[in-house]
């Protein structure tokens, strides 16, 4: 499967990546410091953290559809190799990095867990399956493993959205509601079943297919729906409503990003930070723990100072990891990694 000729780089997607990344880090920092200043990250129907995760999946769906949406022939092996090469090597590097620092500082120690679970870590599935098995989950987010499963299923998702988008939506919604209602094949954290994650990616693909061409109509509908969803208690099915709200937030952020990225400097800054969001996701939890070892967020000033230090430290480590990853890749293959 080759990228379509019409695929282009959207600065708005960079903005959404950065916004979602920093928002999820803020949520984890609030949780780690004990909710002293933010009593809750929730609203009447759910959590802003869950909405940001939905946005994260929608970004993946949008980008994948932009690249492959009109492709008729598919090179599945090439697609899988590209995805694995973009995620796994730097994950292994970040894992070793955090493990060595933790062991050296005395913050980590090995525990007896089944040896076979290292296979889950090898393929970045340890976080996603940590609720089912004892794993060596150390870095990253649960949704990284979920995203890998979605990438594996993407050729089927793409065929469905190209030929029968409405039928695919109905199937996903029914499956998602059934899994949530009957609590079957629940894998990990709330709202993280495979059908749920696929539905989020589907929403992003729909945005790429329709919302970009009719921004004002989609923006108006998204604003109305998101206000209702965050202010009025709505009945079941919550997972489907959450994903719809995540799609609405994605569209709103897309339009905000259009305004923010109109300027050359802001576009370049956001683009550079966006290129680091994946390694930042990998090491941000360890960074939060490190900052909290020497900084007590006992006032609003110290809280925001701690948050700024976490962002700066995570970005600096991400630059280092990406640089080392590029050097190793070049030494092994002769290819420059961008």
Q: pLDDT grade, residue 323 (50/70/90)? A: very high
How many domains does the structure of the chain reveal? 1
- Judge whether 4 lies within some domain: no
- What local confidence, expressed as pLDDT, does residue 268 receive? 96
d(CA 238, CA 177) in angstroms, rounded, equals 9
Share of the chain above pLDDT 70, in %: 90
d(CA 93, CA 136) in angstroms, rounded, equals 15
Domain hosting residue 223, numbered range: 11-333
Residue 8 pLDDT more than 70? yes
User: What confidence tens digit (pLDDT) does each residue in 296-321 have?
Assistant: 888 889 999 999 999 999 999 999 99
- Judge whether 90 lies within some domain: yes
- Judge whether 185 lies within some domain: yes
Query: First-to-last CA distance in the chain?
Result: 21
- Judge whether 209 lies within some domain: yes
d(CA 180, CA 132) in angstroms, rounded, equals 17
- Judge whether 139 lies within some domain: yes
Q: Tally the C-alpha atoms within 13 A of residue 194's C-alpha that lie toward its C-beta.
A: 13
Residue 285 pLDDT more than 80? yes
Tokens for 108, please give them: 């980590």
* Angle at alpha carbon of residue 153, lines to 194 and 253, rounded to 5°: 70
Instruction: Give the mean pLDDT of 46-50.
Output: 85
- What local confidence, expressed as pLDDT, does residue 189 receive? 47
- What local confidence, expressed as pLDDT, does residue 282 receive? 95
- What local confidence, expressed as pLDDT, does residue 214 receive? 73
Distance (Å) of CA 82 to CA 151, 155, 201 = 11, 14, 18
User: What confidence tens digit (pLDDT) does each residue in 186-198 have?
Assistant: 554 444 688 888 9
């Amino acid at each position: 499967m080759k990228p379509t000729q019409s695929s282009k780089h959207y600065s708005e997607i960079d903005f959404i990546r950065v916004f979602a990344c920093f928002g999820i880090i803020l949520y984890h920092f609030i949780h780690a410091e004990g909710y002293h200043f933010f009593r809750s990250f929730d609203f009447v129907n759910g959590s802003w953290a869950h909405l940001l995760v939905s946005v994260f999946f929608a970004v993946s769906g949008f980008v994948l559809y932009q690249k492959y949406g009109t492709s008729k022939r598919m090179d599945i092996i090439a697609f899988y190799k590209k995805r694995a090469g973009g995620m796994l090597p730097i994950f292994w590097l970040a894992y070793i990095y955090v493990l060595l620092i933790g062991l050296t500082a005395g913050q980590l120690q090995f525990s007896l867990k089944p040896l076979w679970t290292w296979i889950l870590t090898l393929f970045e599935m340890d976080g996603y399956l940590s609720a089912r098995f004892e794993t060596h989950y150390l870095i990253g987010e649960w949704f990284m493993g979920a995203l890998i499963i979605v990438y594996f299923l993407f050729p089927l998702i793409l065929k469905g959205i190209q030929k029968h988008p409405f039928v695919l939506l109905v199937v996903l919604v029914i499956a998602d509601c059934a899994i949530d209602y009957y609590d079957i094949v629940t894998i990990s954290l709330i709202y993280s079943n495979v059908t749920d994650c696929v539905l989020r990616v589907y929403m992003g693909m729909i945005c790429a297919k329709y919302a970009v061409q009719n921004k004002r109509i989609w923006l108006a509908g998204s604003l109305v729906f998101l206000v209702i969803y965050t202010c009025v208690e709505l009945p079941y099915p919550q997972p489907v409503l959450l994903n719809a709200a995540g799609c609405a937030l994605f569209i709103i952020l897309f339009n905000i990003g259009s305004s923010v990225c109109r300027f050359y400097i802001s576009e370049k800054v956001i683009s550079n930070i966006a290129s680091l969001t994946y390694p930042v996701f990998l090491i941000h939890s360890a960074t939060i723990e490190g900052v909290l070892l020497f900084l007590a967020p006992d006032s609003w000033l110290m809280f925001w100072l701690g948050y700024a230090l976490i962002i700066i430290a995570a970005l600096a480590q991400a630059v280092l990891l990406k640089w080392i990853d590029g050097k190793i890749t070049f030494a092994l293959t002769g290819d420059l990694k961008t």
